[in-house]
Amino acid sequence: MKTILIVEDNPGIRDLVRDYLGEHGYRVRVASGGQEGLLEARHHPPDLILLDVMMPGMDGLDFLRKYRVSERTPVIFLTARDQEIDKVLGLELGADDYVTKPFSMAELLARVRALLRRTGEVPSAGVLRAGVLELDPATRTFQVRGRRVDLTRSEFELMHAFMGAPRRVFSRLDLLEHLQEDALGSERTIDVHIRNLRAKIEDEPGRPRWLETVFGVGYRLSPGEER
């Protein structure tokens, strides 16, 4: 059964969509705002997200900026905005489709089914592999050459971000936001996490093979052949 996460602050719309999709065979989870939606998506990875754009606090655009750091789950925007520039911005941030309110439930269901068909060959919550590294978000396990390595919550989330986008260069601020530690830590907190990760996964932590420093910018995962 596919799981759909609805992130919508309007309880009337949220409940209506939840009940309709539930009646059509989907497992539905809900969140009333962007921050709650991020936590829900992290702890219960969905197959598709219906995302309201205009919400108090973290809106749909900010949600997508943070979510796309490491996740590729398909997203459909739900919004009252119908200007072309709004649609273009949403799609450029990584939304997969765009439904303008008010919408018919039959049309929304058709779009959900179509998007799930298009993305069905790429399970969102599947195991991530990069070279000899393997990370399973469902069981929250991490292995190097088939050997399990215990990671802290922050270390696991960092590796999830790196393995979700191999070769992408992440700034320290990107990674701090991914950990949602902006209120508690500084960018140097990331350096400490990276040092600890290298000690756990690198053969020679002083000459890192996997977690590379990009001087003046941040870090990236290099998933190439072992040397």
- State pLDDT tens for residues 133-147: 889 887 888 998 888
For residue 118, the one-letter residue type is: R
The domain made up of 3-121 is a member of CATH 1.20.1260.10: no
What is the residue extent of each domain of the chain?
Answer: 3-121, 128-221
- Which DSSP string do the residues of 89-116 spell out, in sequence order? HHHHHT-SEEEESS--HHHHHHHHHHHH
Round to whole Å and give the CA distance between 19 and 109.
12
Q: Is the omega angle on the peptide bond into residue 123 within 30 degrees of 0, that is, cis?
A: no
pLDDT top residue among 115 and 71: 115
Highest mean pLDDT among 17-26, 73-82, 112-121: 17-26
Q: What is the pLDDT of residues 186-204, one digit of tens each?
A: 777 888 899 999 999 998 8
Query: Residue 185: its pLDDT value, please?
Result: 55
CA distances for 184 relative to 8, 153, 154, 181, 207, angstroms: 28, 15, 13, 5, 30
- Cα atoms in the 13 Å half-sphere on the side-chain side of 169: 7
Angle 65-46-140 (CA atoms, 0-180°, nearest 5)?
90
Choose the weakest-confidence range: 18-27, 131-140, 210-219: 131-140
Lowest-confidence range among 95-104, 120-129, 150-159, 210-219? 120-129
Residue 122 pLDDT: 42
Average pLDDT of span 148-168: 88
- CATH code that applies to domain 128-221: 1.10.10.10
